[in-house]
Structure 1
């Protein structure tokens, strides 16, 4: 019964369905926006991320992968409640695991006079903001999971053209951030087996003698 598709939804059901699917796009774009902020610190302020920072970026991407899968699934055919729950369940697990990485880094620098790692935004370091973002993401995904019966998306034929177009945009944005994060990791680590805990340059450029 839980996986039954909505075949003849009322107008209110259509609205809730579409709002639910719009939320999947907002979730993915929001997490990518969080990574964009980290990129600003890295490339705009020359603050190189440590291995734990990169691990947190990975979990942001993994959390976005669940809703992105829902968006991709909806563009090809019907999406069941099971599909919806699977995507958001994945998002919650990834966000909670990522929050443990952020919390670990917070605890590493919480005792004064430790100045913390890298710069701060409004008095909080990026790993603290990451912890807040992970917990907020887990709560948002949990609400979406709780509302599965009301937010189950419509099949592709019943969706508006804007939703179908947005699906392609959302997946493209996630792909760009995933690829750019992979490239950034490679430049930071270079050809060495282990990335330094406090990087001060791009090891790949150092390996090339640049």
Structure 2
């Protein structure tokens, strides 16, 4: 009777821990997918991002670094409550700072009213979607912190083979978007100290040609 009553909470804890780790994966991939959507506008529709847009991408990547720390830590050994809290703390702080950038850009095009910068998706410009994304990111991070004791991945032994394989994939996707975003910034700015507020092309290619 005792073994049955102790096994049930253990199974429940193991399931909640794995769900917490899967959510960390989903957060990282979700942030990368958001930047991927911005790439569609940049490389598919030739709508060049302004410096504030690039700054918002940077804070999305920084926000994704927090849960990525949890994912990377779970591959090497136990994840403590401190590790879990630090990871989601980084995610929340980065998202809060990013929301100030996107919020400022939204206000720039509201007062005074103007058509806004670049194209729109479902009637909203990308910086508005960025503000929504950052708001949801803060909410997600706060919920994970509130559920830290039941959602954290406690031990590497609790992670399934699928989770261990997914960890490598998730971290590789984050690295890809971090490097590609850095290259995109370099192509837009070239060897100049400042980037135009309303870029019309890739300054690096203009300088070389």
Given that residues 18 and 158 in structure 2 are in contact (C-alpha distance below 8 angstroms), is that contact kept between their aligned partners in structure 1?
no
Aligned to 1:89: 89
Secondary structure in 2 matching 1:200: coil
Equivalent-residue separation in structure 1 for 2:158 and 2:94 (angstroms): 31
Equivalent-residue separation in structure 2 for 1:159 and 1:50 (angstroms): 41
Aligned to 1:13: 13
Matching of residues 1-210 of structure 1 within 5 Å: 10-111=10-111, 113-209=113-209
Post-superposition shift, 1:155? Answer: 1.5
Q: Give the number of aligned pairs.
A: 201
Equivalent-residue separation in structure 2 for 1:130 and 1:159 (angstroms): 32
Runs of 4+ residues over 2 Å off in structure 1: none
Equivalent-residue separation in structure 2 for 1:107 and 1:154 (angstroms): 43
Query: What is the aligned-residue RMSD (CA, Å)?
Result: 0.9
Calculate the TM-score normalised by the size of structure 2: 0.94
5+ residue gaps, structure 2, are 1-8
Post-superposition shift, 1:186? Answer: 0.1
Structure with more of its chain in helix, by fraction: 2
Equivalent-residue separation in structure 2 for 1:97 and 1:146 (angstroms): 21
Post-superposition shift, 1:80? Answer: 0.4
Equivalent-residue separation in structure 2 for 1:141 and 1:104 (angstroms): 22
Post-superposition shift, 1:112? Answer: 5.3
Deviations 1:134-179, CA, capped at 9 Å, x for gaps: 0001101110111001012032123110011111010000000000
Equivalent-residue separation in structure 1 for 2:113 and 2:66 (angstroms): 40
Given that residues 18 and 154 in structure 1 are in contact (C-alpha distance below 8 angstroms), is that contact kept between their aligned partners in structure 2?
no
5+ residue gaps, structure 1, are 1-8
Calculate the TM-score normalised by the size of structure 1: 0.94
